[in-house]
């Protein structure tokens, strides 16, 4: 019986450490994306999709308004509604 309890405890401990390491890797990746975000990101223009086939060009011109910023990263933030809203990632100066 003691063996089973020790095994359960060690399994829980190992899973907790694994979760912590995964969370730290996520934070590092998010920070790297935020640092790579330019202060003045380029904007979308129709010239960017001019070389694409007609259906793809129409799709992008319909879904992306010309002048929209091309951001490298977006932060999802909880909202009061059922939809997720995304906001530009904060621009961080320097590297950690």
Contact between 86 and 29 under an 8 Å Cβ cutoff? The reply is no
| Position 87 confidence tier, pLDDT thresholds 50, 70, 90 | low
DSSP state string for 16-54: HHHHHHHHHHHHHHHHHHHHHS-SS--B--GGGGTTS-H
In this model, does residue 92 exceed pLDDT 70? Answer: no
* pLDDT (tens digit per residue) in 53-70: 999 999 999 999 989 888
86 vs 21: which has the higher pLDDT:
21
Q: How many residues does the chain have?
A: 96
The pLDDT, as a whole number, for residue 17 is: 96
pTM above 0.75, yes or no: no
Measured CA to CA, the distance from residue 39 to residue 87 in angstroms comes to 15
Q: Say how far apart CA 46 and CA 50 lie, in whole Å.
A: 6
| pLDDT tens profile 16-57 | 999 999 999 988 988 888 787 777 888 899 999 999 999 999
């Amino acid at each position: 019986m003691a063996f089973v309890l020790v095994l359960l405890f060690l399994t829980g401990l190992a899973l907790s450490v694994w979760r912590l390491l995964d969370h730290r890797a996520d934070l590092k990746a998010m920070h790297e994306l935020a640092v790579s975000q330019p202060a003045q990101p380029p904007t979308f223009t129709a010239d960017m999709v001019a070389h694409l086939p007609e259906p793809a060009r129409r799709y992008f011109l319909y879904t992306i308004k010309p002048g929209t910023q091309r951001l490298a990263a977006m932060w999802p933030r909880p909202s009061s509604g059922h939809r997720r809203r995304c906001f530009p990632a904060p621009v961080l100066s320097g590297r950690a």
